Amino acid sequence: MKPASSDDIFALAPVIPVVVLEDVETAVPLARALVAGGLPTIEVTLRTEAALPAIERIAAEVPDAAVGAGTVTTPEQAQAAANAGSAFLVSPGCTDRLQGALHDTGLPYLPGVATASEAMAMLERGVRALKFFPAEAAGGRTYLKSLSGPLPQARFCPTGGITLATAPDYLALPNVGCVGGTWLTPADAIATGDWGRIKTLAREAAALRPTT
């Protein structure tokens, strides 16, 4: 499963699990548990040496998952993630050089922004799907709501400090397409292989999509 556009990333699931993996061997069973719980979109952050090999394994062995790379901060990382089989890319912030590299991979991507000016800079470059990070620290739901008036064309995936309890408030905003969260993959559950627990957390998150 590969999103053809950034809008497809928003449409696949209401929550993107933001995953930090220390052991490549946990990648496939973790991805299968998330998909079984209803969350096919998975962001593996490039914060560990296991990240790129994990993306390769998930892309090859879990066809129902759309696995992407997060914490992409350099052009070199963008290309390496694309070579590993990433279906999409996510950055915590964005520079002109990085945005160019993300675009050049041909993959859908969500560049990170935290201010109106940063969002406007991306809109000037034709990028309307954005990551809002760090969401809670940067003003949270109130700030995002205030952006919907002057920047109605922008859509966001807020990430950073969001929980199962606060996610519905974000998802109710007209300019939020999905949210990212780390609560779905607790480190202790990954370490002990408690895939049933992760599947349950995924199922709870998958049920958060607002009805229209």
**Two tokens at 179?**
């949210």
Q: Which of 2, 22, 118, 131 is catalytic?
A: 131
Tens digit of each residue's pLDDT (9 = 90 or more) over 51-85: 999 999 999 999 999 999 999 999 999 999 999 99
> Contact, 108 vs 91, CB < 8 A?
no
> Which domains are delineated in the chain?
6-207 (3.20.20.70)
- Map tokens 């719980």 to a residue: 37
Furthest-apart CA pair in the chain: how many Å?
47
Q: State yes or no: is 43 an active-site residue.
A: yes
Element (H, E) at 66: strand 66-70
The predicted structure's pLDDT at residue 210: 60
Query: How much is the pLDDT for 212?
Result: 43
Distances (CA, A) of 185 to 88, 103, 130: 20, 29, 23
| Residue 109 CA neighbour count, 13 Å, CB half | 33
pTM exceeds cut of 0.85? yes
Count the Cβ atoms, other than its own, within 10 Å of residue 123.
15
Q: Which residues of the chain have pLDDT under 70?
A: 210-212
Q: What is the dihedral of CA 130, 183, 74, 79, to 10 degrees?
A: -90
Please tell me the predicted confidence (pLDDT) of residue 170: 97
Q: Supply the pLDDT for residue 95.
A: 96
CA–CA gap between residue 203 and residue 16 (Å, rounded): 12
* List 22, 43, 76, 124, catalytic entry: 43
